[in-house]
């Protein structure tokens, strides 16, 4: 239950929706248990059911269209874009994520990802599944999983870095204001 709740919350971003997905997942698993052939792990099977439940819920709620992310949109157009930085130098990830702004930026970046990219990122980088397992869950070959994962990571990087720049800019502005005569 904890596994599916964590996954659903990462995918949907809301605790209440995540609870609904947990319920849907276990009831659908109960209904479909006879069809479970046992050639995948039970957790993989549950992730598959949960991911479908989550996609159904999102479609129903927001009617959000699937958007393709092209690799070209992440190719830096200037030296500055190459050098976008995330404000976590010298910090462990846990310490960095104590920064509320960074944590919010990460949540929002994940939320903004088109669903099919978000699902790959959540399953692969957050839940720690292999590309093969993600492929099984999403009905994709490994190549497609890796391609979506790369785009999803580039998207999140850009979102986080943009925040980093904004933050740095503000700090610099503050310093300038303090130093002004």
Partner 1 sequence: MRTRSRTAPIRKNPQHQRHGHGKAHCLKILKQLSAYLDDELPREICEEIRRHLGACPNCEEFIKSLRQTITLCRHHPVRPLSPTAKVRLRRQILKVAASLRYRA
Site string for partner 1, 152-171 (x = CB under 8 A): -xx-xx--xx----------
| Residue 52 in the binding site for partner 1 (CB under 8 A) | no
| Residue 82 in the binding site for partner 1 (CB under 8 A) | yes
- CB pairs under 8 A, 24+ apart, for 122-127? 122/7, 122/10, 122/11, 123/7, 123/47, 123/51, 124/149, 125/149, 125/153, 126/10, 127/6, 127/7, 127/10, 127/47
Nearest approach in angstroms of CB 14 to partner 1 is: 12
Q: Total residues contacting partner 1 (rule CB under 8 A)?
A: 46
Q: Cα–Cα distance between 74 and 40 in angstroms, integer?
A: 35
| Residue 110 in the binding site for partner 1 (CB under 8 A) | yes
Q: Given candidates 52, 58, 116, 146, which one binds partner 1 under the rule CB under 8 A?
A: 146
Do 154 and 65 form a contact (C-beta atoms < 8 A)? no
Nearest approach in angstroms of CB 73 to partner 1 is: 12
Q: Cα–Cα distance between 175 and 168 in angstroms, integer?
A: 11
| Residue 31 in the binding site for partner 1 (CB under 8 A) | yes
Binding site for partner 1 (CB under 8 A): 1-2, 5-6, 9-10, 15, 19, 22-23, 26-27, 30-31, 71, 74-76, 79, 82-86, 88, 93-94, 96-97, 102-103, 106, 110, 121, 125-126, 128, 146, 149-150, 153-154, 156-157, 160-161
């Amino acid at each position: 239950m904890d596994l599916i709740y964590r996954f659903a919350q990462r995918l949907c971003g809301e605790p209440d929706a995540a609870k609904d997905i947990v319920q849907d997942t276990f009831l659908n698993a109960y209904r479909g248990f006879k069809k479970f052939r046992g050639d995948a792990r039970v957790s993989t099977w549950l992730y598959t059911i949960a991911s479908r439940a989550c996609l159904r819920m999102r479609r129903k709620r927001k009617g959000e269209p699937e958007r393709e992310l092209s690799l070209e949109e992440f190719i830096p157009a200037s030296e500055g874009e190459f050098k976008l930085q995330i404000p976590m130098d010298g910090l462990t990830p846990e310490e960095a994520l104590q920064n509320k702004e960074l944590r919010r930026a990460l949540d929002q970046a994940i939320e903004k990802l088109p669903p099919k990219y978000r699902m790959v990122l959540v399953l692969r980088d957050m839940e720690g599944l292999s590309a093969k397992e993600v492929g099984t869950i999403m009905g994709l070959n490994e190549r497609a999983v890796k391609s979506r994962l790369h785009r999803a990571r580039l998207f999140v990087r850009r979102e986080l870095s943009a925040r980093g720049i904004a933050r740095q800019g503000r700090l610099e502005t503050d310093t300038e204001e303090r130093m002004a005569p």
